[in-house]
Amino acid sequence: MKVAILAYEFYPLNLGGLGTHLRHLSDGLKDICDLEVFLPFKMKVPGLNLIDVAIKDARKYVTKSYKLDKVIKYNKILPEKFREFPADVVHAHDWVTIDGGRRIKEEFGVPLVMTIHSSILGKKKLTGSFVREKKELEKSIYSADRYIAVSRHIKNELVELYGLDRKKIDIIYNGIEYDKFRTGPDKNYIFFLGRLDQMKGVHFLVEAYSMIKDDIPQKLLLCGTGNNEYREFIMKMISELGLKNHVTIRGRLKENELVKLYSEASIVALPSVYEPFGITVLEGMASGKAVITTTRSGASEIVDNWKNAVVVKSGDSKDLARAMKKLLLDDKLRDKISSNALKLAKLYSWDNIARETLKVYRKVA
């Protein structure tokens, strides 16, 4: 079977988890199907057939922000490239490529699979013209033959907010490069990794930390790029709460830095208010850490609370503070959860995710 994956971002040229997912899914698929990946820029990866759709300056911006005009142009040009490199199944991902998937299906009659990593309608608090444009692109969602949701939470959104047929939606959770991560010595800090934006709930983490900082030895380390306005809000919050000497903010990390910081963290916290899955949760687990996530995280669906991770109420700073304090002051509890977390993370390999994805292709091809 020949498969075409439409990928606007692709690790290491990615803005977030979507690009990481696409890279590792492609690595897992390349040995079990004939795979082509359509990118908006030129890129070479050993063993992968990457097709350059050649969108001017897309490479320049893709790690910083989505440029809507370039996303639209990429989707419009995709059918021209597909004519040169046809396939038996097309696999689109999120709003940045689903319009291109629709265009290819309509022109060539090829079955279309869509993976939805997050939905625009699910992010109800977002406003502005950019979001309205994304909603227009996301209307192409109705043209797919089959859907993959990265969590039960997203599947429910697709049914309730978009009216999609539940029977046409498969759930395939995200995966992880388990062997890349390692355990390490505890260097006394709480680790957050992700985009600095409202959906990640960083403000709740800072507020929760301020409640317990005098009771624990750990500092707070926030890593990630994102919305400048939100970043400034967080920095102001840190100042007003008297946390300047306790909280560090760092930007984008190199892979070796990321692995090291995970391995040396006391705990990993992902306090999201909207998180379709949360690869950070699996990465923290694979690093042998007790991870705190929220009821709004898709990853909460795969864990046993207080056994291999901790799930707190989304948007509740007090609940988050209580969980962090309990973990950080109880070494035996933290070690037990960490040990169980390592075992769970091992189950979510990209090879397994690729095999499950191939089963979905076979349902439509």
Q: Can you give the residue ranges of every domain in the chain? A: 2-175+349-364, 178-345
What's the rounded Cα separation, in Å, for the pair 43 and 53?
11
Choosing among 3.90.1150.10, 3.60.20.30, 3.20.20.70, 3.40.50.2000, the CATH entry for 2-175+349-364 is: 3.40.50.2000
| Structure confidence at residue 16 as a pLDDT band (50, 70, 90) | confident
Q: Which residues share a beta bridge with 35?
A: 3
Answer whether residue 127 shows pLDDT above 70: no
pLDDT per position as a tens digit, 42-101? 999 999 999 999 999 999 888 888 889 999 999 999 999 999 999 999 999 999 999 999
Domains 2-175+349-364 and 178-345 in one fold: yes
Q: Percent of the chain, pLDDT > 90?
A: 82
- CATH fold label, 178-345: Rossmann fold (3.40.50)
The per-residue DSSP string of 314-361 comes to TT-HHHHHHHHHHHHH-HHHHHHHHHHHHHHHTT-BHHHHHHHHHHHH
Residue 133 pLDDT: 82
pLDDT per position as a tens digit, 163-221? 999 999 999 999 999 999 999 999 999 999 998 888 899 999 999 999 999 999 999 99
Q: Are strands 219-223 and 247-250 parallel, antiparallel or unpaired?
A: parallel
Q: Percent of the chain, pLDDT > 70?
A: 98
- Residue 267: other Cβ atoms inside 10 A: 22
- Confidence (pTM): 0.86
Q: Is 87 left (phi over 0), alpha (psi -120 to 50) or beta?
A: beta
Residue the block writes with tokens 């990640």: 200
CB neighbour list of residue 347: distance below 8 Å, 6 or more residues apart: none
What's the rounded Cα separation, in Å, for the pair 340 and 348?
14
Q: Find how far residue 189's CA is from the centre of its chain.
A: 23
Residue 362 pLDDT: 98
What's the rounded Cα separation, in Å, for the pair 357 and 150?
11
Residue 16 CB-half CA count within 13 A = 23
| Structure confidence at residue 126 as a pLDDT band (50, 70, 90) | low
